[in-house]
Structure 1
Amino acid sequence: MIKVIIVEDDPMVAEINRKYVESMEGFQVVSIVSNGEEAFKAIKSMVPDLIILDIYIPKINGLQLLKNIRSEELDVDVILVTAAKDVASIQEVFKWGVVDYLVKPFEFQRFKTALEDYKHRKINLTKKEKVDQSDIDKYILGKKNKSNELYLNKGMHQKTMDVVKNYIMKETTPKSAQEIAETLGMARVTVRRYLEYLTETGEVEVEIRYGTVGRPQHLYIYKQM
């Protein structure tokens, strides 16, 4: 479970952010604080994985809090969720190692993408002792997702790809195209097309099982990097 602290001085916005975070599988809000001083104490005592941080907060502003976190070498990641749009602030926070920057007001889908990308990167990188260039491109720079969206085969759609991919990522045992199609309410031929694409990109593994009669069965499972 990824532990999250929300740092936001507007109670209504803080509650919205809490609901957003807790609607995502694998995330837990462990504290909501309204100023930089309380936030720094909470980070030290609770040792969260992720901070959802606003810049415009009292006592210690978000930028100074971020600097304090890095100066103390606290092992925590930060996503900025703020109304600050000036280039100087944006450049400054990225120098201090934020993993994403969301400008208020934002749509839930953008918030969801930020958390999904963070979780995917955290889970996969913690499994590795060393990384190669493809790992960096995929999990740190996020190039793979953009590449997939730009270069899907003709007639394929990103939303359908997301549905199939999200389903198979959650499964712990290999599934056939027929099983997945029945669960998702889609045509088997459509599901298989997307599974074959994910197999080609290396995100899904296929296992072929041979029975005593009939065609061999193709079973698909998400490839844990």
Structure 2
Amino acid sequence: MIRVMIVEDDPMVASINKRYVESIKGFSVIGIAGNGEEALKLMRNRDVDLIILDVYMPRIDGISFLKKLRQNNVTTDVIFVTAAKEIDSYDQSMAYGAVDYLVKPFEYERFKKSLEHYSMRRKILKEKDIIGQEDIDRIALSCGSEKEQSTPKGLHIKTLSRVRGYMLKNKGRLITADEIATALSITKVTVRRYLEYLESIGEIEIEVEYGAVGRPTNMYRHI
């Protein structure tokens, strides 16, 4: 049984998350904390395999809590379930070893898929002393959407998520590749490749802006 702790300051959301977790075979909620400070206290007396973690919380927020865990060499796995859509929150969560990041509101099926993927990942890592490329690909790719799994060769899922996240954050606004490149510290050439892919699958649209002089500029907008 995979032992889960939920760290969420909204009691109603925590209750829903608990029902979601316990509806999935092989998972059991062994504790609920209202913030990172409470969670740290609970973890002193309980063995936890997986933490369902929010970002926005009083006292110790989710990112700070995860940092404290890693600074204390606690390797407990974390899945973020949060309303935080900032690129920085996502980027830091991945840097500190979160295994997934779900943005509220989300469908139950996405939550279920995340936990089932985690269970598969855990099984592979516990049963094998040596991991092969096939196993790595299963761990890395099986939780992504069908669109992400069919991403063309040469495009990386993490970079795609960052570009996609920036477009979502600025939904409805026309943006240049230069702006995205500067904001995400990625080369303009790279940004254009990801924007062209997002345009090809219908997530964004391109408009050409003609200035008084010089070449026309491509402007990108999330649909």
Code of the aligned partner of 1:112: K
1:137 touches 1:143 (CA, 8 Å); kept in 2?
no
Provide the C-alpha distance between the structure 1 equivalents of 2:108 and 2:126, rounded to a whole number of angstroms.
27
TM-score (norm: length of structure 2) = 0.63
Provide the C-alpha distance between the structure 2 equivalents of 1:18 and 1:56, rounded to a whole number of angstroms.
18
Provide the C-alpha distance between the structure 1 equivalents of 2:32 and 2:144, rounded to a whole number of angstroms.
33
Instruction: Report 1:65-214 matches (<5 A).
Output: 65-142=65-142
- 2:14 maps to which residue? 14
Mark the structure with the bigger radius of gyration: 1
Q: CA deviation at 1:143?
A: 8.0
Q: CA deviation at 1:146?
A: 5.3
Q: CA deviation at 1:124?
A: 2.1
Q: CA deviation at 1:93?
A: 1.0
Provide the C-alpha distance between the structure 2 equivalents of 1:75 and 1:131, rounded to a whole number of angstroms.
19
TM-score (norm: length of structure 1) = 0.63
Unaligned runs of 5+ in 2: 151-223
- 1:55 maps to which residue? 55
Provide the C-alpha distance between the structure 1 equivalents of 2:74 and 2:145, rounded to a whole number of angstroms.
29
Structure 1 residues 144 and 109: CA distance shift in structure 2, 3 A: closer
Code of the aligned partner of 2:104: K
Provide the C-alpha distance between the structure 2 equivalents of 1:18 and 1:8, rounded to a whole number of angstroms.
11
- 1:24 maps to which residue? 24
1:125 touches 1:139 (CA, 8 Å); kept in 2?
no
Count residues in correspondence. 149
Provide the C-alpha distance between the structure 2 equivalents of 1:46 and 1:108, rounded to a whole number of angstroms.
27
Unaligned runs of 5+ in 1: 151-225
Aligned-CA RMSD value? 2.0
Provide the C-alpha distance between the structure 2 equivalents of 1:5 and 1:145, rounded to a whole number of angstroms.
26
- 1:41 maps to which residue? 41
Identity of matched residues, % = 50
Code of the aligned partner of 2:26: G
Q: CA deviation at 1:45?
A: 2.1
Provide the C-alpha distance between the structure 2 equivalents of 1:94 and 1:45, rounded to a whole number of angstroms.
27
CA deviation map 1:104-132 (0-9, x unaligned): 11110000000000001101220000111
Provide the C-alpha distance between the structure 2 equivalents of 1:135 and 1:62, rounded to a whole number of angstroms.
30
